[in-house]
Structure 1
């Protein structure tokens, strides 16, 4: 986690410097990608707290307030990242499929307003993490644990269901639809594309690669979360299921963290303009 944090902070700071300091004004796609980098940076700066918790053998060494706030960065990053990708997918869909009929939506002012609203939406969806996360002393292990403390199983299932629905199912459906249409549009013959569509092809390729990386890194985590919710509702039972979920959860969480390091690498590899800037 410390290695991922150091790499993630350095790389995402570089990405934000490229987007913010180059001479030309950012395009709509770049505005969304820079906000995605900011969400990744926000996560990376809070990750050392979790690493310290793990190093201390899961005996929480910090204040009660930090116990509530540091998981907020993870949840907020999860929500903001996937919804920034929703905005990016919609922008690419409009740029390739409806380049003339929806010009107003693709203005920079609209993109900036959408990003502000999305940050607020991500914070709102992350409120349960702050409310229910507490430091609880466990006398059996003689440790102070930073855990989610729901009042009952119904409350836990409600918020887990909300996280699965708004944090994965709804956005992934939108992204999947837009991506399918985008790929269909890109597979048409070059002669059938307008000049504006040809111009939009290069940033669209970068977006598709970033979307693919997100799917690879985040989908396993969300699948485990959904299976964990089903286990809590007694839909899934058995010691083997519980054991496998316990093994998969931390592995897929590290994969989620690595996505914040992977995105800046993709910008450099795929986008010629980014390398130039």
Structure 2
């Protein structure tokens, strides 16, 4: 690995870049406290210490993410508990997504920020490193599978229409139980030998080991995470929204064609139009949310897949740390997407916080009837 020229010289330090006062031959592992060194993968011994600027920069970014995550997710949970009309089966999935995102930031932010501003390496015990990584895995996987169920619910409502079996409270709770149970089932095994939790990147955070290849238990755990917790959920999500787009497009085309034959502008009444508009609007919100999630998590999935299957030489401390940080930023934008775009949440925000920047008008009579019918269907 050449650190004497190009961007690497500036990022890592060299005679041609910034040496930051470190003696020649010092690696990033040398900066780690002795009680944690046995956990660090030998791969990181190929890299010198990073510029301390990176630790402070990442720490500040995490402070900002923490603020938005705690504020946004906390607001959505407050609205959910204080407005009965929000507590529908479908919205329970949204609440679970918000709750898991809140827990993710709660379990990750304090540890990471402390390390960033206090030496830039993992400062706590080996068990704390494993616990940090485990909690991050549970909440991250729970959020992903919750999004998969939200996507399927939207598919069921929009594509199947009146023939759809509405989501019941029992069905919603069963899905939430699966999300948390499955996430825990995948995150706990590293404590018992299937997989391993270790410091990663610039070594101020921990995650599962995706670099070890000579231990079949560790490598198969990484493979399982990629296949069952990225590829399969993403396939479900993408498939659901492809079908939604096709169904909505086909429906609109059929309605326009029939209206043209009858020489009228629109065949739908106000209630039907409002209901269809609400369904399409909710689908757009969910599609936006899933797209943002993919933008956040795909870079990290790429790094993990590269570590498990391909050439590891380009997995530098910064190259692995930035995707991990981007992935955790998913916990900050979900409440913004739903609070700003979901009509019910907007109306609840207007009622609870009239001085806030969100103002949603009360629906008219037709919209109210449609809303009541939709709520009744969701409670069935």
User: TM-score per shorter chain, which class?
Assistant: 0.7 to 0.9
1:208 aligns with 2:255: no
Question: C-alpha separation between the residues in 1 aligned to 2:162 and 2:247?
Answer: 15
Map 1:44-63 to 2 at 5 A: 44-47=105-108, 48-63=110-125
Native 8 Å contact 1:69 1:130 kept in 2: no
> Which of 341, 347, 367 matches 1:276?
347
Shift of 1:264: 1.4
Distance 2:246 2:205 in 1: 50
SS at match of 1:65: helix
Q: Which has the higher contact order (CA 8 A, sep 6+)?
A: 1
Superposed CA deviations along residues 26-70 of structure 1, whole A, max 9, x for unmatched, are 233311111011110011111211222333335443344322211
Greater Rg by CA: 2
8 Å CA contact 2:147–2:290 kept in 1: the answer is yes
The 1:144/1:3 distance shift into structure 2, 3 A limit, reads closer
Q: Does 1:222 align with 2:283?
A: no
Matches within 5 A, 1:32-111: 32-47=93-108, 48-104=110-166, 106-111=167-172
Question: Contact between 1:71 and 1:129, CA under 8 Å: does it hold in 2?
Answer: no
Separation in 2 of the partners of 1:251 and 1:215? Answer: 15
| TM-score normalised by the chain length of structure 1 | 0.83
Give the TM-score normalised by structure 2. Answer: 0.62
Structure 1 or 2: more helix by fraction? 1
- Aligned residue in 2 for 1:261: 332
**1:118 equivalent in alignment to 2:179:** yes
* Equivalence for 1:140: none
Cα distance change, pair 199–151 in 1 and its aligned pair in 2 (3 A): closer
Whether 2:197 is the aligned partner of 1:133: answer: yes
> Is 1:28–1:111's contact at 8 Å kept on the other side of the alignment?
yes
Identify unmatched segments of 5+ residues in structure 1.
136-142
1:178 — aligned with what? 240
Q: Which runs of 5+ in 2 are unaligned?
A: 1-61, 257-266, 349-380
Count, aligned residues = 261
**Partner SS state of residue 250, structure 2:** coil
The question of whether the paired residues in 2 share the 8 Å contact of 1:99 and 1:197 is answered with: no
